[in-house]
Amino acid sequence: MKIAFTTSDRVHINAHFGSTKEIDVYEISDEGYHFVETLKFAGDLKEDGNEDKLAPKLEALADCTIVYVTAIGGSAAARLIKKNVTPIKARSEEEEIAEVLNKLVTTLKGNPPPWLRKALQQKTSNFEDELEEEAKV
């Protein structure tokens, strides 16, 4: 599954979802994780109430299961959840991406909490549904 992090230094989860210029994406499983890509966003990202700035981020994160942020507006959170992407607020701007990834790997090896199992099932079923739709065409 893919996990995303809003970041300004590629080490910490230290950026607001709406105003971040970079989102790092990792692939993770119970065997470990690896870096996939850095999504870059430009334009006026600080303007409150500008919902248009969210569309490219929502689209870019569509195949992610979770996105970690320092803060996120209610509208953006709702739109992510509608796309089956779970936004999670970091404990602080000092929380490190590697630390979160290591904890997630350990959690996936054991017994993931219900919210994570549900997020994983949604992504799997959506992918299977898409494959079925493609097969019908």
pLDDT reading at 137 higher than 60 = no
pLDDT in tens, 76-121: 999 999 999 999 999 999 999 999 999 999 998 888 888 887 777 7
| Reported pTM | 0.83
Distances, alpha carbon 59 to alpha carbons 11, 71, 91, 111, in Å: 24, 19, 26, 30
Task: Return the pLDDT at 37.
Answer: 96
pLDDT in tens, 38-75: 999 987 656 455 556 788 999 999 999 999 999 999 98
pLDDT in tens, 18-42: 889 999 999 998 899 999 999 999 8
3-state helix, strand, coil in the chain (%, to 5): 40, 25, 35
Task: Return the pLDDT at 54.
Answer: 86
Phi, psi of 23 (to 5 degrees): -130, 120
Residues 91 and 136: their CA atoms lie apart, in Å, by 45
Residues 122 and 124: their CA atoms lie apart, in Å, by 5
Phi, psi of 68 (to 5 degrees): -90, 135
